[in-house]
Amino acid sequence: EKAGFDHFMMKEIHEQPKAYRDTMGSRIDASGRKVVLNEVKLTAEQLRDVNQIHIVACGTAYHAGLIGKNVIERLARIPVETDVASEYRYRSPIITKNTLVIVVSQSGETADTLAALREAKRNGARVLAITNVVGSSVAREADDVIVTWAGPEIAVASTKAYTSQLIAFYLFGLYLAQTLGTQDEAYIAEVIDAIKLLPEQVEYILGQAEAVKQVAEQVATHEDLFFIGRGMDYAVALEGSLKLKEISYIHSEAYAAGELKHGTLALIEDGIPVIALATQHDLFEKTVSNIKEVKARGAYVFGIHSAGEDELKKSVDQTLEIPKTLPLLTPALSVVPLQLLAYYASLARGNDVDKPRNLAKSVTVE
Ligand code: M6R
């Protein structure tokens, strides 16, 4: 049942190329220039009336929602707020009939996410669900559903569900752009072409697992570490940090790289591992200068960068290159080494990778 892998998590990490393909599937039309979302019943007129979007979710799905915010704001120029469901439902959010609420949930059964969905509906918002389980509570109660075709996810640590949620956000962002006319056709086609390349690019990264394993074995000897990045790299850093904490029980924090000197830099001392994401071309120089700040204080830096930007090698101790893609799409690649890092660190510590202590796969209690 683990298809030759030692753990479900590793099997699911390797299923990502297929999950990407299945989630894009028939949602890209034959010309390759348009996204087709037949399951979304929202009309063009209703979409034009949307003046704000709230993305609501828990844990890893919340982290996918942080990327979703970036994607939708860039492609469709609609203001988006991403919130943790257990906060959103109690803070009396400003929801109107022109608010589109997007709930994201692998299981579709998370209690707080479901309650947030109900709160949104009570306030007259239209709700779109991104979920991996057809027929789940979230899928049944939402007005529209985009199913992520990742297949069953057994490991408590979410991997392929997260990345297929990213694919769903890319498709929905493009769909909005196409419907609202916020991006020209050529650009939409360019993004679609780049999305189609992601599965084989993930395969390439999986081929580098051994290099990540070496870093993980070193990381596993520490009790504290940091993940840093800017922009979407920061959102991916949050996910990498959660994954590592969840299964390796090593304490880590994700920081927006530009925030380091507002406090966290005080914690950087000799030998502390820092995982630095520098995949965003426009932010590259800025991130490199933050990396130099931690290096100067003795940190051991593992840097993840895009192909072609190997100047990073000069500033860090170890690097991993991800294949070249559009800046908007790098999260669908850069998270993969972080999943592997968490997996190998957990393994090195002798933990139960698939069933971490104190956690359940589906959190149906509040
Ligand atoms: O089923 P859901 O997507 O609603 O679950 C949300 C979180 O409980 C989940 O993503 C959790 O954070 C994962 N175990 C993280 O790997």
> What would the DSSP string read from start to end of 142-200?
SSEEEE-------SSS-SHHHHHHHHHHHHHHHHHHHHHT-S-HHHHHHHHHHHHHHHH
Tell me the average pLDDT across 318-331: 96
pTM, rounded to two decimals: 0.97
pLDDT confidence bin for 62, thresholds 50/70/90:
very high
Q: From 9, 55, 58, give the residue whose CB has the most ligand 1 atoms within 8 Å, as the site to mutate.
A: 58
Question: Which residues form the pocket of ligand 1, taking CB atoms under 6 Å from any ligand atom?
Answer: 58-61, 105-107, 110, 113, 156-158, 242, 246, 362-363
pLDDT confidence bin for 297, thresholds 50/70/90:
very high
Tell me the average pLDDT across 98-104: 98
Nearest CA owner, ligand 1 atom 12: 59
Q: Rounded distance, CA 265 to CA 155, Å?
A: 34
Residues 34, 213, 355, 361: which is the catalytic one? Answer: 361
pLDDT of 204-249, one tens digit each? 999 999 999 999 999 999 999 999 999 999 999 999 999 999 999 9
Looking at residue 335, what is its pLDDT?
98
Q: Rounded distance, CA 45 to CA 47, Å?
A: 5
pLDDT confidence bin for 122, thresholds 50/70/90:
very high
**What ipTM did this prediction achieve?**
0.98
Tell me how far the alpha carbon of residue 243 lies from the centroid of ligand 1, in angstroms.
Answer: 10
Tell me how far the alpha carbon of residue 318 lies from the centroid of ligand 1, in angstroms.
Answer: 30
Q: Rounded distance, CA 111 to CA 108, Å?
A: 9
Tell me how far the alpha carbon of residue 265 lies from the centroid of ligand 1, in angstroms.
Answer: 30
Looking at residue 179, what is its pLDDT?
97
Q: Is the dihedral of CA 94, 99, 104, 108 positive or negative?
A: positive
Tell me how far the alpha carbon of residue 29 lies from the centroid of ligand 1, in angstroms.
Answer: 31
pLDDT of 70-99, one tens digit each? 999 999 999 999 999 999 989 999 999 999
Looking at residue 26, what is its pLDDT?
87
Q: Rounded distance, CA 159 to CA 63, Å?
A: 12
Looking at residue 310, what is its pLDDT?
83
Q: Rounded distance, CA 251 to CA 322, Å?
A: 26
pLDDT over 70, % of the chain: 100
Give the burial class of 39: count Cβ atoms within 10 A of its Cβ; 0-12 exposed, 13-18 middle, 19 or more buried.
Answer: exposed
Q: Which atom of ligand 1 lies nearest, measured to the CA of 362?
A: 1
Looking at residue 265, what is its pLDDT?
84
Tell me how far the alpha carbon of residue 258 lies from the centroid of ligand 1, in angstroms.
Answer: 28
The mean of the pLDDT values for the chain is: 96
361 is catalytic: yes
Does the pLDDT of residue 363 top 90, yes or no? no
Q: Which atom of ligand 1 lies nearest, measured to the CA of 159?
A: 16
Task: List beta partners, residue 45.
Answer: none
Q: From 86, 110, 133, give the residue whose CB has the most ligand 1 atoms within 8 Å, as the site to mutate.
A: 110
pLDDT of 161-207, one tens digit each? 999 999 999 999 999 999 999 999 999 999 999 999 999 999 999 99
pLDDT of 256-274, one tens digit each? 999 998 988 888 999 999 9
